[in-house]
Amino acid sequence: MNRTGQIATALLLTGVTTFSHSATETFDTDKATFRLKMVAEGLAHPWALAFMPDGSQLVTERNGSLRRIRNGQLQEDPIKGLPELVVSGQGGLLDIILHPDFEQNQTLFLSYAHKISREGLTTRVARATLNGDQLEEVDVIFEAMPRGDTGRHFAGRMAFDGDGHLYVAVGDRGEMDRAQQTDDDAGGVHRITTKGEPAPGNPFLDDSAVNNTFFTYGNRNIQGMTTHPETGEIWSHEHGPRGGDEINIIRAGNNYGWPKVTYGIDYSGATISDKTTLDGITAPLHYWDPSIAPSGMAFYTGEAFPDWQGDLFVGALKMQKLVRLSIEDEKVVEEEDLLEDLGERIRDLRMGPDGALWLLTDDSSDGKVYRLVPAQ
């Protein structure tokens, strides 16, 4: 055990559960030595991060606030003009992504939970124009239907492809069978234009039995989504139940199997499916059993850590770590666990324009933003 782990163990044995890392502390790994530089703290369940052309960052807080970090300082006043949303269970303000032409049109997209009395909750996406610290021209462009009664599995992760089409993940809402019901928007990835129309070339446009925004289905609860830096394909990961967290490449028309196949079991211990593969079902590129509760993902494309080039990084909530995956020919050939001694739930990962890997940690009142930088 390294010195950090020994200190953490000692603190646990004495009943002290808080653990602070200094900005000068280094972390030695198989292929790199790095340190964490704190950018901001005191956030309430930070969920997603976006990098602005002026060098500032926008951070969503699940409690319904959109915050700006400017010159390393978290601004006290949130961005105004957010769409109407609800904070319920796992739902609230979720992902943020900038329009590919943001510098020209100042347009961004937000995903969030929304509720209508007697009709229930759902995942929505709104398009808005950012004017200073105010959102204007807020327009709801996607709403997953039908609504549900649970506060679980909203998903909400988003990504753009090279054609400027927006991919939106919707969870099964805690009702597993909905993920195989293709006239129900739950449990899949939807591909839309920036105005909310079904994207041209969607795989089910000519199939009346499938909602025409569907790109894939059979997805349980996607909590990470990113664009491959070379192929341009959308990669995702999703939570399994007890076991069976998955990494998938999101390809047109694919059924990823939930709940017909799974490597996990129900939280009660009951069997969900005795199958891990079936004809017509796309197998995951990688899975975890037991679950790590993955959240956030990014390919490393910076120059600070040459041996990490092209590796995929995944955060973990339950297991409180950062996972590095080296992938060749769509197979994981190396897996390394990092930051196990940090003691924080990692909610989101982003590759920054500065070449650093950025992390968000999940906490109700002291969520943090870190940059992962070389130790030198």
User: What whole-number distance in Å separates Cα of residue 341 and Cα of residue 355?
Assistant: 24
For 294-359, the DSSP string reads EEEEEE---SS-GGGTT-EEEEETTTTEEEEEEEETTEEEEEEEE-TTS--EEEEEEE-TTS-EEE
User: What whole-number distance in Å separates Cα of residue 217 and Cα of residue 132?
Assistant: 38
- Tell me the β-bridge partners of 235: 226, 249
Cβ-Cβ contacts under 8 Å for 17 (sequence gap 6 or more)? 11, 343
Cβ(205)–Cβ(212) below 8 Å: yes
At 169, which helix (H) or strand (E)? strand 166-170
Query: Which among 199, 190, 193 has a CA at the least distance from the CA of 171?
Result: 190
Look-up of token digits 């032409």: 101
Cβ(222)–Cβ(169) below 8 Å: yes
Query: Which among 200, 229, 215, 185 has a CA at the least distance from the CA of 327?
Result: 229
Ramachandran bin of 300, using left for φ above 0, alpha for ψ from -120 to 50, beta for the remaining angles:
beta
Q: Give the active site residue among 21, 45, 99, 153.
A: 153
114 as an active site residue: the answer is no
Q: Coil, helix or strand for 96?
A: strand
List phi, psi (to 5°) of 92: 160, -150
Q: Which amino acid is at 205?
A: L
Q: Coil, helix or strand for 109?
A: strand
Where do the H-state alpha helices sit in 61-171? 102-105
Cβ-Cβ contacts under 8 Å for 241 (sequence gap 6 or more)? 220, 262, 264, 265, 266, 267, 272, 291
Q: Which residues are catalytic?
A: 153
